[in-house]
Amino acid sequence: METLPEIAKLHHRDDYVDIHLQVVSIDEVVYQNVEASNQNAFHGSAASGYQPSLERSLDGSSLRQILGNNEGVGFGSGNETESYPDGGREAWLVVLGSFVGVVFHFGLINSLGPIQTYISTHQLSDVAPSTIAWIFSIFLTTNFGFCLLGGTLFDYYGSRIPMSVGVVLTTGGLLGTANAQYVYQFILFFSLCTGLGLAFLQTPLFCLVAHWFSQKRALAAGLVTLGVSVGGVIIPLMLSSLYSSVGFTWAIRVLASLCFVTSGVSIWLTKERFRKTSNGVLATPEGQTQISKPLLYRFAGYINNVFDLKAFKNPRFTLCALGMAGAEVYLITAITYFSSYAMAQGVDEKAAYLMITVINASGVLGRSLPGILAYKFGAFNVIVGMLTAVTVCIFALWFPLGHNLSVLYTFAVLLGITSASVLSLAPVCLAQVTPIQSYGRCYAMVFFMVAMGNLVFIPLSGLLIGTGSKENYGHFVLFCGFLSALVTTWFCAARYYLVGGKISVRV
């Protein structure tokens, strides 16, 4: 049995501290030589006499006493000692399936501009722009807010049920949107039905990799979120082409067909490894005890516990959640108004829309490279560096030199790389401070915060922009810069709660 100093030695390699602060693998970190025994013990075997437990004593002291009595998300109460494949055919097929689903999911979100432009000049040409804006505001709020339902279903029943519900709602909503002619029809079919369907799809697509990867989690998550940039380039260009060739109705029908096919492929390729049982502990799908109560009856009971407010007693989770939600909100807001900012600076409409494609295309590098860097240096270290970089770019390039076309294109590339890096690494950081059996719900809680943030900050940004003068847009840029600095501070504080003031720490 190792003493505490001996345990500390396990994490030092050539004076470079390698701290692996993932709650779900504390025993794996301490007892690195019993990974095989963990697997047997998880299935009820007493192989090698090893019985993993979070409360296992180390020379009279429990892990809770050594690491601190963390409430809420910091430590779960279940058996969180399962080892992770970190590779293999099944694990990489999950990555591929999640990637395919994300291409459509965020490709559609990144297509809001082309959809808004078309309906405002055709079906809703006689409707005020402020009224049309509610269609997309409600869509984003529904999409991010109802991730809570998808997260709860995912934790207890796995990925198949929420993803199947999501593909039905999304496909049906898009087919209805194709024939919509009035504002209430767009709100019903697009904002509510399609937004709700995407909410059920989103949580499993981004959370499944956490079931299969630990050491390589940042790399796997980076590959999955690469689909955000790929979809952000392909689908807007596809819609723009279809509008002129077959019209809006058939363009959206093609999009609905793409939803059905890509989501079907995702459901086929992906599967979870853990589910949360009725008493809150982890179980494999094969080993989970069946309960006689109907699914809907049980789910109604789980809805009462959708918000785990005790999670926010843990400052690491709270700060990480604030940082992740804040990053999503201010980056979405900045990108939403970027083309209109460019037009206010005298850039022609075609070039202004092209900049959005530049941002999304640059995100391909931004979502692949950080996963590799995070594997070597740690997700928190990389995300803090990227947030610092985007904050510097806002104050050094966008605000003082945004009137210059070359600088705008340069900033668009840098914004695409840094924003994609932040958005892809934020869920990885969240996974490091969240027990695996509650990750879906905690992830969904963060995106509920994103939904509320979008409902507030997008209209607030519109108020700052006002008449659309250069001066007003300057205020908007400063607003984005201060939000970026605040988010950077939150992630730095979360990192401090994890490792203190140490600099050369992989976390």
CATH of the domain at 382: 1.20.1250.20
Q: Are 344 and 102 in contact (CB under 8 A)?
A: no
Whether residues 504 and 372 fall in one domain: yes
Whether residues 164 and 189 fall in one domain: yes
Alpha-carbon span 142 to 45, nearest angstrom: 45
Q: Would residue 370 be called left, alpha or beta, if left means φ above 0 and alpha means ψ between -120 and 50 degrees?
A: alpha
The DSSP symbol for 45 reads: -
Alpha-carbon span 349 to 342, nearest angstrom: 9
Q: Are 418 and 366 in contact (CB under 8 A)?
A: yes
Whether residues 346 and 248 fall in one domain: no
Alpha-carbon span 4 to 31, nearest angstrom: 12
Residue 188 located in a structural domain: yes
Q: Of 38, 53, 74, which residue constitutes the final position of a domain?
A: 74
Residue 286 located in a structural domain: no
Whether residues 383 and 481 fall in one domain: yes
- The residue ranges of DSSP E strands in 56-129, in sequence order, are 57-58, 61-62
Is-above-0.75 flag for pTM? no
Find the helix or strand (DSSP H, E) in which 160 lies: helix 160-178
Alpha-carbon span 316 to 319, nearest angstrom: 5
Alpha-carbon span 366 to 370, nearest angstrom: 7
Which DSSP string do the residues of 191-258 spell out, in sequence order?
IIIIHHHHHHHHHHHHHTHHHH-STTHHHHHHHHHHHHHHHHHHHHHHHHHHHHHTHHHHHHHHHHHH
Whether residues 123 and 262 fall in one domain: yes
Domain that includes residue 53, residue range: 4-74
Nearest to 93, CA basis, from 344, 267, 217, 313: 267
Residue 282 located in a structural domain: no
Q: Of 74, 95, 123, which residue constitutes the final position of a domain?
A: 74
Task: Check residue 298 and give its pLDDT.
Answer: 55
Residue 199 located in a structural domain: yes
Q: Are 170 and 194 in contact (CB under 8 A)?
A: yes
Whether residues 21 and 141 fall in one domain: no
Task: Check residue 56 and give its pLDDT.
Answer: 34
Give me the number of domains the chain comprises. Answer: 3
Residue 325 located in a structural domain: yes
Alpha-carbon span 344 to 179, nearest angstrom: 33
Residue 169 located in a structural domain: yes
Whether residues 332 and 454 fall in one domain: yes
pLDDT tens, residue order, the chain (507 aa): 444 344 344 333 333 333 333 333 333 333 333 333 333 333 333 333 333 333 333 333 332 332 333 444 443 333 444 577 777 888 888 888 889 888 888 788 877 777 877 787 788 888 876 677 778 888 888 888 787 777 777 777 778 888 889 999 999 999 999 999 999 999 999 999 999 999 888 878 877 877 787 777 777 777 887 787 788 888 878 887 888 889 899 999 999 999 899 888 988 988 777 666 544 444 445 544 444 455 555 555 555 556 667 778 889 999 999 999 899 888 888 887 787 788 888 888 678 777 878 888 888 787 778 778 887 888 899 999 999 999 999 999 999 998 899 999 999 999 988 888 888 888 888 888 887 777 777 877 887 888 888 777 877 777 787 777 888 889 999 999 999 999 999 999 999 998 887 887 887
Please tell me the number of Cα atoms within 13 Å of 435 on its side-chain side: 24
Alpha-carbon span 196 to 139, nearest angstrom: 8
Whether residues 19 and 126 fall in one domain: no
Q: Exposure of 146 by Cβ count < 10 A (0-12 exposed, 13-18 middle, 19+ buried)?
A: buried
The residues, any chain, with a CB within 8 Å of residue 502's CB and separated by 6 or more, are 17
Whether residues 389 and 474 fall in one domain: yes
Whether residues 40 and 113 fall in one domain: no
Alpha-carbon span 381 to 374, nearest angstrom: 8
Torsion of Cα atoms, 258 then 263 then 264 then 267, to 10°? 170
Residue 80 located in a structural domain: no
The residues, any chain, with a CB within 8 Å of residue 256's CB and separated by 6 or more, are 170, 171, 174, 175, 178
Whether residues 60 and 91 fall in one domain: no
Residue 287 located in a structural domain: no
The DSSP symbol for 397 reads: I
Q: Exposure of 388 by Cβ count < 10 A (0-12 exposed, 13-18 middle, 19+ buried)?
A: middle
Alpha-carbon span 464 to 312, nearest angstrom: 32
Whether residues 429 and 447 fall in one domain: yes
With H, G, I as helix, E, B as strand and everything else as coil, classify residue 91: helix
